[in-house]
Amino acid sequence: MAEGRGAHSAAALAARLRACLADPGACRADLAALSAELLPAPTTPAQRLRAALGVRTAPRLLGPLLAELGPDALGALLPRLPAFEPAARGGSCAEPAGRAVDPADRSPRGVVPDLRQGRLGDCWLVAVLIACEAARPGFARSQLTPLGPTAAAGADGPPAGAHPAIGFWAVDLWAPARRRIVVSDRLPVAHRCGDGGLAPTAASIVEKAVAVALGGSYRRLESNLADVALWLLTGRAAPARPVPRRLDGLDRALRAGRPVVASTLVRPRGSFRLPREDGRTAVPIMDGHVYAVLGVARTDEDGRPDPRQPPRARLRNPLGGSGPAAGADLWLSARQLRRAFLSVNVGPVLAARP
């Protein structure tokens, strides 16, 4: 039976979960049986393909279940219900991020200096998140609405000063129309984005919501396009355009508060090195990769201000400098940008949410 209907509707699942809570002795076996129903062994070619892609529809029921059961009851059961979390690479969604994203804290989290890509090929999404943070600091955090984090409670209630064990968040995305995705803050340990040390941030929660929206699997985040990420996050089309011959237009867009990213072409020989204009060692460039464009200024190729130099675009690799070809921030002239990059995407002005 299709998930979301009949025996697997939110109301029916909530009734079964209430029964589990009412009978702790049978709870473990009942939850194991429910997980087996929601994640059956594939028997047909279509089911095997869905399993290989990690497609799960049960994570979309988390919002209705939260409304039926409340955060404390659902939070107590969720660690034993892997079907309600998106499929992850390199381990399940098991690391609570509640300490990193405090529901009472409305300050920016995961801002430009900190955000980086984890062990996923989702540069198309993380680069756009970096660009959105550059355009409006606190963008990722502004997409989140807390839905009642659970308390780390013991027999006598929650201890003083306890942090939430599991929190729940609503994330506003466009998939394809405006849609609110509900996720827990349980995250994969490494196969996700985070701050400079890959600790979870608000952007990690947004990334998880995108995984749910695209089929309930982090594997579905591998290899996509920057214009898809811009639509998901802003609801505005931002198709790829040729790299401009001059940087004036990109400079105006950045100063207006618009996110800008640039993409390289997939090359048969992989990553390559772009000659520097000052004749020194070449600059490493990753192929088939998306970089965030953070600004335009007259600098040398190491980012030092110099009014005698041509305008250069500052690009950030979402990998954050890890790996031999990742590099740190790049400062490229218009000529270098055209030589190394295939296209740019310019998003809309990001207005602050009320």
State how far the alpha carbon of 284 is from the alpha carbons of 76, 279, 340, in Å: 48, 14, 10
Bridge partner residues of 295 (DSSP) = 314
Bridge partner residues of 170 (DSSP) = 145, 182
Q: Which amino acid is located at 95 in the chain? A: E
Q: Which amino acid is located at 29 in the chain? A: A
Determine how many CB atoms are found less than 10 A away from the CB of residue 344.
23
Backbone angles phi, psi at 126, to 5 degrees: -70, -40
Task: Report d(CA 270, CA 157) in Å as an integer.
Answer: 56
For residue 164, the model assigns a pLDDT of 47
Task: Report d(CA 280, CA 312) in Å as an integer.
Answer: 17
Q: Among residues 183, 238, 188, which one has the least CA distance to residue 65?
A: 183
Task: Report d(CA 60, CA 208) in Å as an integer.
Answer: 12
Query: Mean pLDDT in each 10-residue stretch from start to end of the chain (354 residues)?
Result: 54 84 75 79 75 77 89 86 81 57 49 74 95 92 81 38 68 88 88 84 93 89 93 94 96 96 92 91 92 96 94 93 58 96 96 60
Packing angle, helices 10-22 and 62-69, rounded to 10: 50
End-to-end Cα distance, the chain: 41
The position carrying tokens 């609503």 is 170
State how far the alpha carbon of 33 is from the alpha carbons of 8, 28, 40, 163, 302, in Å: 13, 9, 10, 31, 59
Task: Report d(CA 27, CA 35) in Å as an integer.
Answer: 12
For residues 319 and 326, the answer to whether their CB atoms sit within 8 Å is: yes
For residue 277, the model assigns a pLDDT of 92
For residue 17, the model assigns a pLDDT of 86
Task: Report d(CA 209, CA 194) in Å as an integer.
Answer: 14
CA dihedral in degrees (247, 251, 257, 259; nearest 10)? Answer: 20
Q: How far is CA 170 from its chain centroid?
A: 14
Q: Among residues 38, 35, 74, 92, which one has the least CA distance to residue 168?
A: 74
Number of H helices, E strands in the chain: 11, 13
